[in-house]
Amino acid sequence: MSQSLIILANFIAVTVLVFGLYFPRYHRKDMVVAILGLNVGVMAVATALSSTEVTAGLGLGLFGVLSIIRLRSSELAQEEVAYYFTALALGLLAGFQLDPAWLTPALMGAILATLFVGDHPRLFARNRHQNVQLDSAYTSEPQLIARLSQLLDAEIVMIKVKKVDLVNDTTSVDVRYRLYDNSSGDGAPATTSAAPHAGVAR
């Protein structure tokens, strides 16, 4: 497979990534520019490095430095970090020659398929995660779980207490929860699960 066909495969892959997966799910225009620019830039640099005596290790080191700078310049959600590094991986695959040649588009397809399934809206659709600050100081775990369940109208799966302020009467907690399945109209969870895991952040 010629280099031009691999470059074309990369453009198709990043188009699917941005306009087929990322933007329909997150609707963040600035990340569209960042993902496209990163992908094309990495592909161009990787192509140039592959045709010189510069080692691949040095090239990967440069990409790592650039990615750290980018990630520190703007806060990204974990899902967006996955898309960001997927664009980087696609660019690397397009820039370096693999043997056999069909392995490049195959790996690109595998990456996109994994992201499609792993970030599908129907996968764990009722699970949520929030940092919550309550206007009361809770030292009793059962009371805290009951309060959170009432407040979020959900089944609490895990809590991690970050801070209990007895002076200002507040509680900060990291909570993972599952929305009730209201399809039956009873406002109760479809199944009964084990008690949530809880811990204190250190």
Residue 132 above 50 pLDDT? yes
Buried b / exposed e over 58-68, threshold 16 CB at 10 Å, is ebeeebeeebe
Domain boundary among 75, 96, 118: 118
Under DSSP, the state recorded for 17 is: I
pLDDT, position 54? 55
139 and 175 assigned to the same domain: yes
In sign, the C-alpha dihedral spanning 176, 182, 184, 188 is positive
Q: Which residues, 6 or more positions from 60, have their beta carbon under 8 angstroms from its beta carbon?
A: 92
Domain that holds residue 56: 3-118
66 and 166 assigned to the same domain: no
Distance CA 181, CA 94 (A): 44
- Residue 88's pLDDT band, with cuts at 50, 70 and 90, is confident
Mean pLDDT for all residues in the chain = 80
Is this structure's pTM higher than 0.85?
Answer: no
Q: What is the pLDDT of residues 118-130, one digit of tens each?
A: 888 888 888 888 8
105 and 180 assigned to the same domain: no
183 and 88 assigned to the same domain: no
33 and 90 assigned to the same domain: yes
106 and 30 assigned to the same domain: yes
The domain total for the chain is 2
Domain boundary among 86, 118, 150: 118
